[in-house]
Structure 1
Amino acid sequence: MTQSLRQVWQYRGLIGNFANREIKGKYKGSLLGGAWALINPLATLATYSLVFGFILRFPTPTAGNGSLTSFPVYLFTALVVWNFFYAVTTSGMGALVGAGPLLRKIHFPPYAPVFGSALAVLNQTAIEFGLLFVVYLVVLNLSWTILMVPVLLLLLSAFALGLGLLLSIANARFRDVNYIVTVVLGLLFYASPIIYPITLVTDMYAAHPWLQVYEYNPITSFVEAFRDVLWHLRFPGLGRLAYLTVVSLGVLALGWTVFQRKSADVSEEL
């Protein structure tokens, strides 16, 4: 593992170049340019807030200050987490295929574009988290639990990057993977407590005990952990934190191992 970290650090400049290229090319040619990095999440937030906060009216748990029940803020907390996970996973999946023409001309580590895409997503995430923190400062008193955000974000990065490495190998061999993952992630979005409180599911445990597997969904645990430290102003719990640590590091180790073993063969097929 130490050798792998040294190898990645050795090519940090190349990884940064891939990240920079993706950031610059994302909104190239658009009139508003980088402003879309802020417009897109706000538009999504407005849409979901209207549908699920006003029309369908999902209940909103009271915040840690004992008075706030703002559905848009509650929703935005989970959307930022989901957007980061979704972007790192899907961009990583397509990064290897996208770098295929360059890999056939120049020799460089195949993981460089995958890591670069993850760094590019961090740029977008920084904007969204910055906006989220401003909102919380205005409407809710933050507590010491905000110090847990970098830890949770690091674990989420490891989990999403590990999946991205695995999917990039699978997508390079079978291009159908891209379409399958899109469908699966769409289902995962609604199978996680993003647009609704987790109590809508937990209240059915007594009648349907098998539903308790719902909480083993890592995205459920990540969303609830972020809501714990930001919305409820409480520590997410050692059990949940331990679970997220084991799952995140396990998926990252698996993704890295598979990628290192298979990327050389896949590169010839790109």
Structure 2
Amino acid sequence: MTQSLREVWQYRGLIGNFARREIKGKYKGSLLGSAWSLINPLATLATYSLVFGFILRFPTPVAGNGSLTSFPIYLFTALVVWNFFHSVTMSSIGALVGAGPLLRKIHFPPFAPVLGSAIAVLQQTAIEFGLLFVVYVIVWNISWTILLVPVLLLLLSGFALGLGMLLAIFNAWFRDVNYIVTVLLGLLFYASPIIYPITLVTDLYDEHPWLRIYEFNPITAFVEAFRDVLWDLEFPGWGRLGYLVLVSAIVLAVGWSFFQRKAADVSEEL
């Protein structure tokens, strides 16, 4: 692990170049440019708020300040988490294949474009979290628990990056993987308490005990942890926090190790 960290530090400049390249190329030729990084999530938020907050009227728990019951804010809290996970995972999968032509011409560690793409995603995430923090300050739903956000974001980064690096290798072997993962992530979105409160599922535990596996979904745990510290203004609990640390560490270690062992071989197939 120490050797891997030294290698990442050694190529930090190259990783930064890939990140800048990703940021510049994402909205190249667009009139609004990077403004789309904010417009897209806001448009999604507006759509889900209309459908699930106004038409279907999913119940909204009362926030930690005892008065806030805004469904759009409750939803946006989870959407920011999901968008970050989804973007890091999918960009990591595509980064290795995208860097194929360069890898055939120039020797550099294959992890550089993958880490660069993940760092690029942080720019959009920073914008979304910044907007979310401003909203919470305006409605005065704020507490010391906000200090736990960087910790949770670090754990989520490790989980998404590890998963993305693992899938990037399989995608280099079989290009169908990218499409399969897109479908599976769409299912995972609705299998996690993003657009609805988790109580809609937990209330069914007595009738359907097998549903308890729902809480072992890492995205469920991450979404609920972020809502704990931002919406409920509560510590997420040592059990949930320990679970997230364990899952993130295992997925990152497995993904990184597998990627390092196989990336050199798949470079010839890109």
Aligned partner of 2:245 in structure 1 is 245
Aligned partner of 1:203 in structure 2 is 203
In structure 2, C-alpha distance between the alignment counterparts of 1:164 and 1:141, rounded to whole Å = 34
2:86 is aligned with what amino acid?
Y
In structure 2, C-alpha distance between the alignment counterparts of 1:256 and 1:196, rounded to whole Å = 33
In structure 2, C-alpha distance between the alignment counterparts of 1:230 and 1:90, rounded to whole Å = 26
Alignment of 1:39-188 (within 5 A): 39-188=39-188
How far off its partner does 1:139 sit? 1.0
In structure 2, C-alpha distance between the alignment counterparts of 1:226 and 1:95, rounded to whole Å = 28
In structure 1, C-alpha distance between the alignment counterparts of 2:268 and 2:35, rounded to whole Å = 38
In structure 1, C-alpha distance between the alignment counterparts of 2:2 and 2:162, rounded to whole Å = 17
Aligned partner of 1:33 in structure 2 is 33
In structure 1, C-alpha distance between the alignment counterparts of 2:94 and 2:36, rounded to whole Å = 21
In structure 1, C-alpha distance between the alignment counterparts of 2:18 and 2:163, rounded to whole Å = 19
How far off its partner does 1:141 sit? 2.9
Aligned partner of 1:193 in structure 2 is 193
In structure 2, C-alpha distance between the alignment counterparts of 1:87 and 1:67, rounded to whole Å = 33
CA deviations on 1:39-66 (whole Å, 9 max, x unpaired) are 1111010000000000000000000011
In structure 2, C-alpha distance between the alignment counterparts of 1:140 and 1:158, rounded to whole Å = 31
CA deviations on 1:107-140 (whole Å, 9 max, x unpaired) are 0000000000000000110000000000000113
CA contact (8 A) 2:63 2:141 kept: no
Alignment of 1:1-16 (within 5 A): 1-16=1-16
2:219 is aligned with what amino acid?
I
In structure 1, C-alpha distance between the alignment counterparts of 2:161 and 2:86, rounded to whole Å = 10
Matched, 1:232 2:232: yes
Matched, 1:212 2:226: no
SS of the equivalent of 2:269 reads coil
Aligned partner of 1:268 in structure 2 is 268
RMSD of aligned alpha carbons: 0.4
TM-score by length of 2: 1.00
1:216 is aligned with what amino acid?
F
Larger deviation: 136-145 or 244-253?
Answer: 136-145
CA contact (8 A) 2:141 2:231 kept: no
CA contact (8 A) 2:148 2:229 kept: yes
1:44 is aligned with what amino acid?
T
CA deviations on 1:15-52 (whole Å, 9 max, x unpaired) are 00000000000000011111111111110100000000
1:59 is aligned with what amino acid?
P
In structure 2, C-alpha distance between the alignment counterparts of 1:80 and 1:220, rounded to whole Å = 14
CA contact (8 A) 1:68 1:140 kept: no
Gaps spanning 5+ residues in structure 2: where? none
In structure 2, C-alpha distance between the alignment counterparts of 1:139 and 1:73, rounded to whole Å = 10
